[in-house]
Amino acid sequence: MPKSPENIPPGPVNERDAKASPQGRGRRAALIQALRELLREQPPEALTFAKICERADIPRASAYHFFPNMGALYLGLRLVHSELVAARLSQVDTSQFESWQDYVYFLAAEAIAIVREDPAMMRVVYGVRTEETMHVGKELDSKIASIALKQVMERFALPFWPDAARKVSIAVALIDSVFRFSFREQGTITDEIVREAGRAAVAYLRCYLPEYVDSRH
């Protein structure tokens, strides 16, 4: 029997999946979960479609119906990561922050928390680069930036700054770039690197925001 999925959304990724039976959606989730389990044990280059099907206990002929190749499987897991990060950030209690700088440092730590907790997520986010996963990465950065800007503006009385959304997006991209550098150099992301990522984003945003701003409550 296929393994039970772990935090894998059952939703469709295309029109064909939208028409799939509950059993079909369960198999799709089981395949993504099998990939996640194997990535905890092995690097991406060691995995094959056959290994994933074997772990999920699903015949390859059936698996191809949901994921035509490894790239599609990696995309499925990246979408899981994206949903987990967005959900985590959306639940933040902003009353704990004394300054916008505190929030940015927290944002860096929170954005990377899921991948630091799960080697599979670390490897799929920073060890797999395909056109599909890069597109998901850009969408996630945009989603994080939107959540961050909304939360900071609700917490602090920020002055008007033109093109604020784009500037916050650049700050988020800086954080992600520091993380990618660390993974490429060390194969991990340390506490020091998380602080460095926060510093990079704060230094950039200081070009547009005053050092001190009042809180709204």
pLDDT of amino acid 136: 87
Residue 141 buriedness (CB in 10 A; 0-12 / 13-18 / 19+): buried
- Quick one: average pLDDT of 128-143? 84
Q: How far does the chain reach from its first CA to its final CA, in angstroms? A: 53
Q: Of 11 and 63, which is predicted with more confidence?
A: 63
Mean of pLDDT over the chain: 88
Mean pLDDT of 27-44: 94
Mean pLDDT of 118-131: 89
Percent of the chain with pLDDT strictly greater than 90: 71
Task: Please compute the mean of the pLDDT values over residues 165-194 and round it to a whole number.
Answer: 94
Q: How confident is the model at residue 151 (pLDDT cuts 50, 70, 90)?
A: very high
Task: Report how far residue 72's alpha carbon sits from residue 124's, in angstroms, rounded to the nearest whole number.
Answer: 12
pLDDT > 90? residue 2: no
Residues in the chain, how many? 217
Please tell me which of 10-14, 100-104, 129-133 the model is most confident about, judged by mean pLDDT: 100-104
